[in-house]
Chain A
Amino acid sequence: AQKITQTQPGMFVQEKEAVTLDCTYDTSDQSYGLFWYKQPSSGEMIFLIYQGSYDEQNATEGRYSLNFQKARKSANLVISASQLGDSAMYFCAMREVSGGYQKVTFGTGTKLQVIP
C-alpha cells in the first residue's frame, strides 16, 4: 500500500526567502508519479509540479522545484523567493495505476505562512 508522509504540520518563511517542504513516500510500484498541490483558504486544490519516478532530472516550474531523491524516497518541494500569496496548505501526493485509472494518495499537508 502507498503511504505519503509530511512531517511538518506548519512552517513559517520570511518573504523573498526560499523554503523546503518535506515529503517522504513508500511504494512497491516501479513506476509512480509524485505531485505537489497548493490549497489556499478558498479550498481549491491547485496543481504545482509533477515528478515521474523514471525522470532523471528534478522537475521545475517557475519558482517551484522538486528535490527528488529516489533512494531516500523523498520528494521535497522547494519554493524560491517566497511571496505573501504562497501562504496556503501544501499537499504531497503519489499516484498509482489500477485498472487504467489513477489513484492518488495524499499526505496530511503542511501549512505555510509567509511573513512580510
Chain B
Amino acid sequence: ETGVTQTPRHLVMGMTNKKSLKCEQHLGHNAMYWYKQSAKKPLELMFVYNFKEQTENNSVPSRFSPECPNSSHLFLHLHTLQPEDSALYLCASSLSLPSGRASPTDTQYFGPGTRLTVL
C-alpha cells in the first residue's frame, strides 16, 4: 500500500451504534488530520495530531473521539451520532516541520475518505 488509506470506504450506522474509522499513511509523515466534508460546506478541520500528540480539537462534539497510537495510524471513534453527522470524512497527513517558513513539504496528502451515513 502506498500513500494514505482509509477504511471503511462506506459506512452506514444507526444513532446508537459505535464504530471506528481507520486511517493509515505510508509516507513517513508525522502529522495527521481528520476533516469533515458536508454537502455545500467548506472542508472542516476536526483534529490534528503532531508526533502522536493531539494539537488541535476544532470544537468537535465529544461523540467523535480520535486516537493516534503512532505516527502512521489514526482512528476516529464514533458513538451516538446524529443524522447531521452524515458526511465524507477525510484523513490527511503531512511532514511536520519545526520551522515557521512555508515549504512544499507542507503539502497534505489525503486518503480516499469514508462516506458516513447516520440513520
Chain A: residues with CB nearer than 8 A to chain B?
Answer: 31-33, 35, 37, 42-47, 50, 52-54, 91, 95, 97, 99-104, 106-109
Asked if B42 contacts A107 (CB within 8 A), the reply is yes
Q: Which one of A31, A33, A52, A101 has the highest number of Cβ atoms from chain B below 10 Å of its Cβ?
A: A101
Asked if A100 contacts B50 (CB within 8 A), the reply is yes
The 8 closest A-B pairs by CB, nearest first: A45-B110, A33-B102, A101-B50, A106-B43, A43-B113, A44-B112, A31-B102, A97-B100
Given contacts A45-B110, A47-B107, is CB(A52)–CB(B43) below 8 Å?
A: no
Contact pattern, B 91-117, Cβ under 8 Å of A = 1, otherwise 0: 010101111111110111111110100
Asked if A52 contacts B103 (CB within 8 A), the reply is yes
Residue pairs across A and B with CB atoms within 8 Å: the count is 78
B57 at the interface (CB under 8 A from A): no
Task: Count B interface residues, CB 8 Å.
Answer: 31
Could you tell me the distance between the alpha carbons of A46 and B90 in the complex, rounded to whole angstroms? 12
Asked if B43 contacts A102 (CB within 8 A), the reply is no
Q: B96 contacts which chain A residues (CB < 8 A)?
A: 100-102
Q: A43 contacts which chain B residues (CB < 8 A)?
A: 88, 90, 112-113, 115
Q: A104 contacts which chain B residues (CB < 8 A)?
A: 45, 108
Chain B: residues with CB nearer than 8 A to chain A?
Answer: 31, 41-43, 45, 48, 50, 55-56, 88, 90, 92, 94, 96-104, 106-113, 115
Asked if B106 contacts A99 (CB within 8 A), the reply is no
Which residue in chain A gives the minimum CB-CB distance to B115? A43
Q: A50: which of B99, B104, B111, B115 is its contact (CB, 8 Å)?
A: B104
Could you tell me the distance between the alpha carbons of A100 and B107 in the complex, rounded to whole angstroms? 14
Asked if B100 contacts A103 (CB within 8 A), the reply is no
Could you tell me the distance between the alpha carbons of A37 and B111 in the complex, rounded to whole angstroms? 13
Question: B2 CB to closest chain A CB, in angstroms?
Answer: 13
A-B contact pairs, 11 of them (CB 8 A): A31-B100, A44-B111, A45-B92, A50-B106, A52-B102, A54-B102, A97-B102, A101-B56, A101-B96, A102-B31, A103-B56
Could you tell me the distance between the alpha carbons of A107 and B41 in the complex, rounded to whole angstroms? 9
Asked if B104 contacts A52 (CB within 8 A), the reply is yes
Q: B90 contacts which chain A residues (CB < 8 A)?
A: 43, 45
